Amino acid sequence: MARKLIAAGNWKMNTTIDEGITLAQRVSSADRNKNVLTILAVPFTHLFPVMKKVKISSGVKLAAQNCHHKTSGAFTGEISPAMLAGMKIPYVVIGHSERREYNHEDNALLALKVRAALDAGLKVIFCCGEALDIRKSRGHVAHVKNQLTDSLFMLSASEMKNIVIAYEPIWAIGTGETATPAQAQEMHLAIREMLRKKYGKRVADNTSILYGGSVKGSNAAELFGQPDVDGGLVGGASLSADEFVTIINSFGRKAV
């Protein structure tokens, strides 16, 4: 099984439903690289309308931006994995840096969310990454290893086929610092080596690892040209159909 090339657009808390439908329609109908799986991580309010109004095909999938770790219960305002599965939503993003920071989601909670999502039949885009102080102290590899160990490495090798890893260099997002393609490759290779040591070569070679550090149309080709960068988790640039399609079409290689 070859690992997928993926362009995942994380809309965060942006767009009205009508704006979201229009954006999704423009992306789904565009002339896109058919070797690239396109995922749209839209707000909860948009999932059903986008699904109904947009031609969602094998090349375009929807993702929720979060889920609760329980199947049901007295958790006002939350969305369970079972609810997402019941809507036929295939993917959910878990552990995004903004959820970790603003909602105080720690590794133990994220492990419960991953377990609940997989048990509901969802595929998980699991985010990991380090802040600027950790990067400057050169503790970044150990920090990401702890995140993966605590939240993912309880899974079996067979369950890992339903996991996509997204590396977020938090230190390079809105800080004035810049992550180079070489730095992205360094961390992606380190993550793949962690997977190899835990699960073996087959799982390591087949797990897609996305880069989530301010991907744009202007830098996507160089980032995606790195041997262990299998795509991007794209934030602001995914809110422009033209820009996001440029990113989708920036891959210079086929799935390995």
Q: Which residues are catalytic?
A: 96, 168
**What secondary structure letter does DSSP report for 40?**
E
**What secondary structure letter does DSSP report for 210?**
E
Cβ-based burial of 190 (10 A; exposed 0-12, middle 13-18, buried ≥19): middle
Helix and strand numbers (H, E) in the chain are 11, 8
Cβ-based burial of 176 (10 A; exposed 0-12, middle 13-18, buried ≥19): exposed
Give CA–CA dist 211/213, Å, rounded.
Answer: 6
E strands, the chain, are: 5-10, 36-41, 60-64, 91-94, 123-128, 163-167, 209-211, 231-234
